[in-house]
Amino acid sequence: MINRRTLIASAAAFLILSLPVSAEQISLNDLSAYLNRMKTAQADFTQINDDGSISTGKLMLKRPGRMRFEYAGPDNTLVLASSGAVAIYDPKTPEYGPETYPLNKTPLSIILAERVDLARADMVVGHSYDGTATTVTAQDPEHPEYGNLQLVFTDNPVQLRQWVVNDDSGGSTTVVLGQMETGVALNNRLFTITRPSNADNR
């Protein structure tokens, strides 16, 4: 079974499968502009959990404020971020409904904000370039205790390649993302936090 803290922390994480050569370090303003342009996206993913276990599924994102993780069997867990909350649906206990947590207490809120501003004071605690990719480590400047989000980007054009969440318990989660489609049509129903059904999933 997938660890619940890992699920909350991951609602995100993009691991580099193969990195094209990048020309130079990408500025924080350019990275913020890229994320703000990303209104919708979807992709298959493979998640590497903090305990070394592996999960797979499909990710959907609709900024601001919404994300959906559909985990494949045998777990079949559903994780939604919407309306300021993160909800975890465990199909083994549907009668109890979802477990919910405040979105603003997870690093996920950084990129789901209506306006991403990585240049904001104390938002970024690391910004480096290794000759191939630009890595940014961001946190909520008002609540650094909630953990941080490590984002890795390549250039020409700018693309998000890796997203590692370091949560407040010291755990880390990484997700390997397949081909990411952006600008896709995603119905708001996909992100509604209610009791899930097969009809709601597509």
* Least confident segment among 85-94, 117-126, 185-194: 85-94
Is position 11 within any domain?
yes
Q: Decide if 61 contacts 76 (C-beta within 8 A).
A: no
Is position 83 within any domain?
yes
Is position 157 within any domain?
yes
Is position 189 within any domain?
no
Is position 201 within any domain?
no
pTM, two decimal places: 0.77
Distance (Å, whole) CA 6 – CA 108: 12
Is position 100 within any domain?
yes
Token readout for 95 is 């009668």
Q: Which of 9-13, 110-114, 196-200 has the highest mean pLDDT?
A: 110-114
Would the pLDDT of 150 be above 70? yes
Task: Report the amino acid identity of residue 156.
Answer: N
Give the pLDDT score at 85.
93
Of 112, 37, 36, whose CA–CA distance to 67 is shortest? 112
Count of beta carbons in the 10 Å neighbourhood of residue 31: 22
Would the pLDDT of 198 be above 50? no
Q: Indicate the number of domains in the chain.
A: 1
Q: Decide if 178 contacts 15 (C-beta within 8 A).
A: no
The CATH code of the domain that includes 119 is 2.50.20.10
Q: Decide if 77 contacts 90 (C-beta within 8 A).
A: yes
Is position 96 within any domain?
yes
Give the pLDDT score at 195.
56
Q: Which domain holds residue 96?
A: 4-181
Residue with the bigger pLDDT between 28 and 202: it is: 28
Mean pLDDT of 36-46: 92
Token readout for 35 is 């994320």
Q: Decide if 94 contacts 88 (C-beta within 8 A).
A: no
* Least confident segment among 4-13, 105-114, 163-172: 4-13
Distance (Å, whole) CA 202 – CA 190: 7
Is position 91 within any domain?
yes
What proportions of the chain, in percent to the nearest 5, are helix, strand and coil? 20, 40, 45
Distance (Å, whole) CA 60 – CA 45: 10
Question: Phi and psi (nearest 5°) for 16?
Answer: -70, 120
Token readout for 111 is 């990129």
Give the pLDDT score at 3.
53
* Least confident segment among 33-37, 61-65, 162-166: 162-166
